[in-house]
Amino acid sequence: MRQLVIGLLFALLWASAAVATKFGIHAADPLILANVRFFLAGGGMLLFAYLIRKGQHAMPEGKEWMHLAVFGCLNTTVYLGCFVIAMKTVSAGIGSLATATNPLFIMVISALWVKRPLKWYEVTGIFLGMAGVAMATYPLLLDSHATIGGILILMLGMFSVSVATVYYARINQRLSSLVINGWQVFLGGLLFIPVTALFADFKTSHFNAQFWLSVGWLVLPVSVLALQLWFYLVRRDAVRASLWLFLCPVFGFLYSWILLDEPITWYTFAGTMLVIGGLYLAQQEKFRKQSTIPQNQ
């Protein structure tokens, strides 16, 4: 029961990121929203690690700085930068649905990285996932709730975070997850400063209550609480933890419908089911292996 509650809470919080971003960019430029979030989230984690838990966490050394900078560039600067920019012209529901396809990108990149041919069910799962996103997006393109450019920027972000995940998995890390996350977000924010300085519209940005509530939600419930819940689920059972990602697009579309009055159609349901089916099919080998492992009573 405890894992059920934690899993549901994770999916509820993680799926809210797109809607919270939508509210924030109505008050300020997306680039400004992203940079403020990066510095508050990254800085907050580093302060907690090095001041509140003083002496318990090591500082990066040597090549670790390079690895953190690369990881931060891919995982924060490019991925979250693309995500927040795309939210300007893409519905929050599609943002949540696209995020759920991340395991498919990771699978392809991992296979290419180790030069392993994809299996038939992996290819089929990827095709179903991409077809689902296209189906759910189609009616939104017609009524101006999404643009082709926005979708392409969103997909670029998904590709970047997938590369970051594979890159991170291939590096031996001695640093704690708290320190790694803190530095990669903070360094990603530093790398994002030139983009914000050159292209952000400061004149039309308003740092009002709506802006700070959006940033606060993205930093605390999403970046801090949801990630801690995810780490707990992964430690308990990494394969079963991935199942909770399937709920994120469902909750994401509900949030966008209730809070932003974005349309939900039969295309939405059909597309979401295709994505969920594709994710499950592509990862069936992991689920099959897990089912053969005796469970401790």
Higher pLDDT, 176 or 85: 85
Q: Which range marks the domain in which residue 44 is found? A: 2-286
- Ramachandran bin of 16, using left for φ above 0, alpha for ψ from -120 to 50, beta for the remaining angles: alpha
Please check whether residue 136 lies inside any domain of the structure. yes
Higher pLDDT, 209 or 243: 209
Please check whether residue 231 lies inside any domain of the structure. yes
Which residue has tokens 């017609």? 142
Please check whether residue 159 lies inside any domain of the structure. yes
Q: What is the pLDDT of residues 165-208, one digit of tens each?
A: 888 877 777 888 889 889 999 999 999 999 999 999 999 999 99
Please check whether residue 68 lies inside any domain of the structure. yes
Mean pLDDT of 127-144: 83
Please check whether residue 297 lies inside any domain of the structure. no
Please check whether residue 293 lies inside any domain of the structure. no
Range with the poorest average pLDDT among 62-66, 141-145, 195-199: 141-145
pTM (2 d.p.): 0.84
Please check whether residue 296 lies inside any domain of the structure. no
Please check whether residue 126 lies inside any domain of the structure. yes
Q: What is the pLDDT of residues 227-278, one digit of tens each?
A: 778 877 876 765 566 677 778 888 888 899 999 888 888 888 898 888 888 8
Higher pLDDT, 280 or 1: 280
Number of compact structural domains in the chain: 1
Q: What is the pLDDT of residue 47?
A: 94
**Mean pLDDT for the chain overall:** 86
For the ranges 209-223, 257-271, 276-290, the maximum mean pLDDT occurs at 209-223
Q: What percentage of the chain carries pLDDT values higher than 70?
A: 92
